[in-house]
């Protein structure tokens, strides 16, 4: 199984985005957390800054939209060239229509669920998505503790993806570090977001490599 390590820039030095992203040249995608202070109680960055990041790096962008009204805003992130755009199931009015629109605009379409949101209704419509993001913390902030009960949700999602025969990626986001990545990998995740683990490490590049090796060792 192929593994992807997508560092989140949420906890990097925002006054030096170009330099901070250059540190993770071995990342598969740069994970960009867009927060609107409504869907989550935090405000980060939006379209103009994502557009500037897109111009400043060759690393593909994995935009995680923690915003209300994604049906209205998400397509613009695809239009500026984001390779992957993930919106929240709890916020979308018409997730199938929105995923189809994102794909039509050339982006991978991702669907995210908060820890208390059941994944089952969405397993019926897996073919509409390129990635399922299982949040392993409550969205809003970096540096929180991995919610270990999410392991079962990852396992059930992996079973459904395998049964479908589709190449839908399973992403985990929140509290992923050298201590927790093996739980998520063994449960069936293949795409790992790590924010504070990467940006608080002395050497971000090396930390990405360490996480990748651990994920490889524990995935099946």
User: Which residues sit in the known binding site for substrate?
Assistant: 8, 64, 140-143, 173-175, 195-196
The tokens for 68 are: 């209300």
The tokens for 57 are: 């790096």
Report the distance separating Cα 184 and Cα 191, nearest Å: 10
Q: Which helix (H) or strand (E) holds 65?
A: strand 61-66
By beta carbon distance, the residue nearest Zn ion is 64
Report the distance separating Cα 159 and Cα 146, nearest Å: 22
Residue nearer to Zn ion on the CB measure, 41 or 159: 41
Q: Is there a catalytic annotation at residue 71? A: no
**174 is a site residue for ligand DX5 (CB under 6 A):** yes
In the shown chain, the binding pattern of residues 166 to 195 toward Zn ion, with x for contact by CB under 5 A and - for none, equals -------x----------------------
Write the CA distances from 116 to 40, 43, 71, integer angstroms.
Answer: 15, 22, 22
| Contact residue for ligand DX5 among 10, 50, 74, 132 (CB under 6 A) | 10
Q: Is there a catalytic annotation at residue 33? A: yes
Of 96, 170, 98, 85, residue with least CA distance to 127: 96
| Contact residue for ligand DX5 among 24, 137, 160, 168 (CB under 6 A) | 137
The tokens for 71 are: 């049906």
| Contact residue for ligand DX5 among 70, 95, 110, 195 (CB under 6 A) | 195
Question: Can you give the binding site for ligand DX5, defined by CB under 6 A?
Answer: 8, 10-11, 31, 33, 64, 137, 139-144, 173-176, 193-197
Residues labelled catalytic: 33, 173
């Amino acid at each position: 199984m192929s593994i992807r390590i997508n560092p989140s820039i949420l906890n990097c030095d925002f006054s030096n985005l170009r330099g901070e992203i250059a540190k993770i040249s071995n990342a598969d995608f740069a994970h960009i957390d867009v927060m609107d202070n409504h869907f989550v109680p935090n405000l980060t960055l939006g379209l103009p800054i994502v557009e500037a990041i897109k111009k400043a790096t060759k690393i593909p962008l994995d935009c995680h939209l923690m915003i209300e009204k994604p049906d209205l805003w998400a397509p613009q992130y695809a239009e500026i060239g984001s390779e992957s755009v993930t919106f929240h199931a709890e916020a979308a009015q018409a997730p199938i229509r929105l995923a189809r629109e994102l794909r039509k605009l050339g982006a991978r379409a991702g669907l995210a669920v908060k820890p208390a949101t059941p994944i089952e209704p969405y397993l019926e419509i897996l073919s509409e998505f390129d990635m399922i993001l299982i949040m392993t913390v409550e969205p809003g902030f970096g540096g929180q503790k991995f919610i270990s009960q999410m392991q079962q949700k990852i396992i059930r999602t992996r079973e459904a993806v395998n049964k479908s025969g589709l190449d839908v990626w399973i992403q985990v986001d929140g509290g992923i570090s050298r201590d927790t990545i093996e739980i998520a990998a063994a449960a069936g995740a293949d795409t790992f977001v790590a924010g504070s683990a990467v940006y608080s490490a002395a050497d971000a590049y090396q930390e990405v490599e360490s996480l990748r090796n651990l994920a490889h060792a524990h995935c099946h």
